[in-house]
Amino acid sequence: MKNIYLDNNATTRISENVLDAMLPYFKNKWGNPSSMHSFGGDVAKDVEHARGQVADLLNAEVSEIVFTSCGTESDNTAIFGALEAIQMPNKRQFITTKVEHPAVIASARELQRRGYPVTYLSVDRYGNIDLDELRGAIGAETAVVSVMWANNETGVIFPIEKIGQIVKSAGAVFHVDAVQAVGKIPINLKDSTVDLLSMSGHKIHAPKGVGVLYIRRGTRVRPLLHGGHQERGRRGGTENVPYIVGLGVAAEQAKKALVEETPRIKTLRDKLENGLIERIPNTLLNGAKEERLPNTSSLSFEYVEGEAILLKLDNAGIAASSGSACSSGSLEPSHVLRAMGVPYTAAHGSIRFSLSGDSTEDEIEYVLEKMPPIIENLRSISPFWLDFIKGRKIDADKHSGPYAPYN
Ligand code: PLP
C-alpha cells in the first residue's frame, strides 16, 4: 500500500534533525530558562539560539521574535493585542480579507461582537485583492489591517509590500499571517512595511504547538497571556523549550531549503497540476497561476464531490485535502472558493495538493495514474455530470444540499 502525503499545507512531517535536536530537552536539559542556576541558564542560551535562527529566516532582529504556542495564538495576539494597545476612540476599524484562515476570520467576528467596525475585502476570481478597494476602505479611523501573505487553500500570494504602503500611509498597524508563506517563499522583514507577522512551526517540519509572532521594534501590542516576564513580558508562560529548539532547527533548514529544494518542488507541483488538467476534462485551477506558492495546487474537478475524491484517494494511499483542513468535515464549499466566486459545481469538487521537500517524482507519477479513473468513476454516478454531458441546465435546487448555489 502506498503512503503518499500531499497535504503539507495542513501539517508537515517533523524532520529527523528537528526531532534529534529536541530529544535532549525531554531527557536531561529540562531546566526552566528563567531559573538563576545553570540548569536554567544553559537552556535559556539554547532558546536564544533558536530565536536567532528564526530571526535569520525572516531577516528580522532577534529581539523582534516572540515564541508562542501556534499560528492561531500569534494571529490572536497580533489582532487583539495591537487593537487594545491603540486606545484611541476614533481609531478602531479593523480591515481584513474574506479569504483569511479561520484564526483571523473568527478573530474578526469576535471583534464585531465586541463592537469594533470590521471590513472584509473581497477577492476576484483568481483570489487577488483589489488595492483600490483597500484604498477606499482605509482611513484615519483604521487601527489594524491583517492580511495573509499566502492563502492556505489556493497558495495565492498577496502583494504584501504594496498593501503595506497603503496601510502605513493611513497610520495603521500592519499584521501579516505568514503561516503558509514562511519556508515556501523568501521573507525579508528588514526594510518591510510589516509590523507584525505570524508563523507556525508545524508547517515547516517542526512539531505542532509552537509558533512565532514577529513584533517590529516600536510596535505596541498588549499581551494575550499575562503572566511572568517571559518573552520580555510579551507572552507569559514558561517557554516550551524542546519545541522552541526544534523550531530553531526547522527555521535554519527552511532557509537552506528555499534555495536547494524549492525549484524541485515547484517543478513537481507543475507536473502534477498540468498533468491532471491535461488528463481529466473539466479540471480547473483555483487561484492565480503565477503569484502562487510553489508547493500548492488547488484544482476543481467539476461535477463531483471533493469528499468522495478524498476518500478514493485515501484508499489509493494518497493524502490530500478538500478546502482547508480546518473546514473539512463540513459539506459547505470553503469560504475561500466562495469568496472567489468559483461556481458551486466546481467549488464542491475542489482538491488541494500541497507538496514538500519529501515529495518525489514517483509519487507524482502515481497520482497522475490513479486520479483519472477515480474522477471518471465518480462522474459516472454524478447527477451534475449527467446533466452537464446531456447539455441540460444544472438545476441547483435539485442537486444542492444545505448550501446556496453561486451566480
Ligand atoms: N494561518 C494560516 C494561513 C494557516 O494555514 C494556519 C494553519 O493551517 C494557521 C494560521 C493556524 O496555525 P496553527 O495551526 O499553528 O494554529
Q: What is the pTM of this model?
A: 0.95
Q: Which residue has the higher pLDDT, 224 or 394?
A: 224
Residue at which a domain ends, from 222, 257, 292: 257
Q: Please tell me whether residues 317 and 245 are part of one structural domain.
A: no
**Residue whose CB lies within 8 A of the most ligand 1 atoms, among 101, 204, 208, for a mutation test:** 101
Q: Please tell me whether residues 243 and 265 are part of one structural domain.
A: no
Domain membership flag for residue 22: yes
Closest CA to 15 of 362, 301, 250: 250
b/e 344-372 (16+ beta carbons within 10 angstroms → b): bbbbbbbbbbbbbbbbeeebbebbbebbb
Domain membership flag for residue 247: yes
Residue-level pLDDT at 331: 64
**Residue 233 and residue 210: Cα distance in Å, rounded?**
18
Candidates 325, 326, 368, 396; catalytic one: 326
Atom of ligand 1 nearest to the CA of 150: 3
* Strand, coil or helix: 122: coil
Helix axes 241-260, 38-58, angle to 10 degrees: 30
Instruction: Tell me: pLDDT of 402 over 50.
Output: no
Residue at which a domain ends, from 257, 272, 302: 257
Residue at which a domain ends, from 222, 240, 257: 257
Domain membership flag for residue 124: yes
Q: Which three cell numbers stand for residue 362?
A: 514517483
Question: How far, in Å, from the CA of 6 to the mean position of ligand 1?
Answer: 17
Signed CA dihedral, 91, 96, 101, 105: sign only: positive
As a three-state string, the secondary structure of 15-34 is CHHHHHHHCHHHHCCCCCCC
Q: Is 354 in the pocket of ligand 1 (CB under 6 A)?
A: no
Question: How far, in Å, from the CA of 24 to the mean position of ligand 1?
Answer: 28
Please state the rounded mean pLDDT for residues 278-299. Answer: 97
Instruction: Tell me: pLDDT of 403 over 80.
Output: no
Residue-range definition of the domain harbouring residue 318? 261-399
Q: Whose CA is nearest to atom 12 of ligand 1?
A: 71
Please state the rounded mean pLDDT for residues 212-240. Answer: 97
Proportion of the chain above pLDDT 70, given as a percent? 94
Q: Is 211 in the pocket of ligand 1 (CB under 6 A)?
A: yes
Closest CA to 155 of 265, 287, 258: 287
Domain membership flag for residue 3: no
CATH of the domain at 191: 3.40.640.10
Please state the rounded mean pLDDT for residues 319-324. Answer: 80
H-assigned helices in 36-101: 38-58, 71-86
**Interior angle at CA 16, CA 15 and CA 17, nearest 5:** 95
Q: Please tell me whether residues 110 and 239 are part of one structural domain.
A: yes
Question: How far, in Å, from the CA of 211 to the mean position of ligand 1?
Answer: 10
Closest CA to 172 of 207, 204, 202, 147: 147
Residue-level pLDDT at 395: 61
Residue-level pLDDT at 326: 38
141-173: per-residue pLDDT in tens? Answer: 999 999 999 999 999 999 999 999 999 999 999
Q: Please tell me whether residues 241 and 273 are part of one structural domain.
A: no
**Interior angle at CA 406, CA 403 and CA 407, nearest 5:** 155
Q: Is 70 in the pocket of ligand 1 (CB under 6 A)?
A: yes
**Residue 3 and residue 13: Cα distance in Å, rounded?**
13
CB contact at 8 A, 247 and 201: yes
Domain membership flag for residue 114: yes
Q: Please tell me whether residues 202 and 226 are part of one structural domain.
A: yes
**Catalytic annotation present for 326:** yes
Domain membership flag for residue 325: yes
Q: Please tell me whether residues 44 and 188 are part of one structural domain.
A: yes
Residue-level pLDDT at 385: 85
Q: Please tell me whether residues 239 and 275 are part of one structural domain.
A: no
Residue-level pLDDT at 323: 63
Please provide the size of the chain in residues: 407
260-280: per-residue pLDDT in tens? Answer: 999 999 999 999 999 999 999
Atom of ligand 1 nearest to the CA of 211: 15
Q: Is 103 in the pocket of ligand 1 (CB under 6 A)?
A: yes
Residue-level pLDDT at 401: 43
Q: Please tell me whether residues 159 and 43 are part of one structural domain.
A: yes
Residue-level pLDDT at 387: 84
Place of cell 451534475: 384
Instruction: Tell me: pLDDT of 327 over 60.
Output: no
Q: Is 101 in the pocket of ligand 1 (CB under 6 A)?
A: yes
Q: Is 72 in the pocket of ligand 1 (CB under 6 A)?
A: yes
Atom of ligand 1 nearest to the CA of 200: 15
Number of compact structural domains in the chain: 2
42-83: per-residue pLDDT in tens? Answer: 999 999 999 999 999 999 999 999 999 999 999 999 999 999
pLDDT band for position 18 (cuts 50, 70, 90): very high
Residue 81 bridge partners (DSSP): none
Q: Please tell me whether residues 324 and 243 are part of one structural domain.
A: no
**Residue whose CB lies within 8 A of the most ligand 1 atoms, among 203, 240, 298, for a mutation test:** 203
pLDDT band for position 20 (cuts 50, 70, 90): very high
